[in-house]
A and B are shown apart, each in its own frame.
Chain A
Amino acid sequence: MSEARIDVQVEHKHAPPVNQRKHPNTCPKCGSHYRDDELQAALWVCGHCGHHFPMRARARIDWYADPGSFVEEAADVRSEDPLDFFDLRPYAERLAEAELNTGLGEAAIIGQATIDGHPVELLVMDFTFMGGSMGSAVGEKFSRACDSAIDRGVPLVSVTSSGGARMQEGILSLMQLPKTVCAVEDLHDAHIPMFTVMAHPTTAGVLASFASLGDVTIAEPGALIAFTGPRVVQQTTREKLPEDFGLAEQNLRFGHLDAIVPRPEQRQHLVKLLRLFA
């Protein structure tokens, strides 16, 4: 038998090391690889295992909104650097770089649109702009989106994807929590519905403010939705983490969400809600 054994080692001599960083179009869950146009056509969802790749804000708006209906608002709102913040690099430099790399002025886009004919106000966050972090500019954009929804008497649809408050703005970033909460309360008082779609990740300051206050809250499968992420919980408390700690699935089980809706079904889900609240 021994001479019939095939030395499988040979075949793997040039295999890439296991921990090598994967191509962004390679599914981190199942390893399937896609061309850009394939991913786009599939709404950045893995056709093989259902993994949801990150979706850019503009792409999501193009998909949610009826063609040509989106009119951006407050596009000129930009962050300032009130603390002259400097860690390893100046905050101002990080901002400029983020704008260059993402083509966005900030981590959120707001504007008017129609979805299947229903007029709405949209706020969509983009994680690629400094981790979707919420500083004064994002807080102001959310606040203006609420005002625009109230003025026009239309529902607010907000899509969150954020690591939390933007540390580089210090205490002012923390103040965006009560700022956005107060804006939501004004929205509630005006009887304007707010629907929230939580994308990966929705954590810390954004979860602890407007994102949690929607009338109806849905999440994307596998999204991390936590006030404190698994790494910090592990480091601080040394607790053993459950398998799906902080994921949308756990949040649904514990009653923090109304539903988990896969991306391809989201638009129809929103349309149904818009009809019911019309």
Chain B
Amino acid sequence: MTERDQELNLRRRLSGLSRLPLLRGTRVEGEAERLEKQLERLKADTSDEAVWRSVELARHPDRPYTMDYVARFIDDWVELHGDRGRADDGALVTGLGSLDGRTIVLIGHQKGRDVKERLDRQFGMAYPEGYGKAMRVMEIAERFGFPVISLVDTPGAYPGVAAEQHGQGGAIARSQAEMARLTVPTVACIIGEGGSGGAVAIAVSDRVLMQENAIYSVITPEGCAAILWRDAGEAKKAAAAFKPDALHCLELGVIDGVVAEPAGGAQSDHDEAARLLRAALVECLEELEDTPGEELRRRRRAKFRGMGVFA
């Protein structure tokens, strides 16, 4: 690519970006200036290096996880365990709680902080039982009209023998199908790694947000490199090629908004990251709450059925 091609490419992207009716979720009081700055930086910086920085920050070991956010902005948290069939999957946490005064159902991946917890929670990679648990709490949400909040943070669904035998593919498909049937407001936010089927299984939502340094991708950079470059060491090149960062996902119409993070990344200030995320989630819920359930469902399906670029 010549320099001129690159410039043209960048200009095309920017014009696409400025047409978007966004950024929802970051449009919160006192944030306008920050947002401007953030946009300036994003505009100036769509390099391969920036993409890779997102990959690193999304996987940062100190990055806040689902339970860190629950502790900071969900009141009266009641965790619900088990899929009522076989197991309780620690990689996917579900529960009831109160957000800004309304009862919500929350579903989120949980990676684990120390070695023991990471092993117990399979590094946030859920078994079919995890998605079974998610579907069970979605049913509760539907029955009682509670909005569903999903916090996505997984390298992918668990790739093991038992997971396959218990029907990993079918579980991911049915979890998406359940989300496509709900008539309650649904909001998802990718808060770290949005890895493939394991992520989208709980992210078929009316509003899908991404934190500034989160990634959302069809395969891990290492997996992609191993297949297409036949060398997992080429992960950086792979990430640059398939562009899993928030800005590119926004440009491609895959997400509805980007949620700002504290300067330097969410890991540097959990409280501030939680404040920004909470504000974005509440704003989305307020936008959705007046729409009748049938209409929410119709629009949700139309949104996802319109995704893709083809000739």
Q: List A residues at the B interface (Cβ < 8 Å).
A: 77-80, 82-88, 135-137, 139-140, 143, 165, 167-179, 181-186, 203-205, 207-213, 225-228, 232-233, 236-237, 239, 241-242, 245-246, 250, 254-256
Contacts and interface: CB of A to CB of B under 8 A. Distances in A.
B170 A256 contact: yes
B217 A254 contact: no
Given A178-B200, A179-B305, A237 B218 contact: no
B228 A181 contact: no
Contact of A172 (B201, B203, B254): B254
Given A135-B308, A136-B307, 13 more contacts: A80-B309, A87-B229, A87-B237, A135-B310, A170-B217, A171-B242, A171-B243, A171-B244, A171-B248, A181-B173, A181-B204, A208-B173, A254-B165
B309 A174 contact: no
A136 B310 contact: yes
Contacts, number: 197
A171 B169 contact: no
Given A87-B229, A88-B228, A171-B218, A242 B161 contact: yes
Nearest to B217: A171
A208 B310 contact: no
B291 interface: no
Q: Most B CB atoms within 10 A — which of A84, A136, A175, A183? A: A175
Contacts of B224: 167
Interface in B208-249: 216-219, 223-224, 227-229, 237-238, 241-244, 248-249
B81 interface: no
23 contacts: A77-B310, A87-B229, A87-B237, A87-B241, A88-B228, A135-B310, A137-B308, A139-B308, A167-B242, A170-B218, A171-B217, A178-B304, A178-B307, A179-B304, A179-B305, A182-B180, A185-B301, A204-B197, A208-B170, A209-B173, A213-B173, A237-B160, A256-B170
A contact patch SS: helix
A137 B204 CA distance: 20
B59 to A, nearest CB: 16
B216 A171 contact: yes
B181 interface: yes
Nearest to B165: A254
B307 A179 contact: yes
Nearest to B234: A87
B161 A233 contact: yes
B197 A205 contact: yes
Given A165-B218, A177-B197, A233-B160, A83 B169 contact: no
B305 A175 contact: no
A241 B159 CA distance: 12
A174 B217 contact: yes
A136 B308 contact: yes
A233 B165 CA distance: 12
Given A84-B9, A213-B177, A170 B308 contact: no
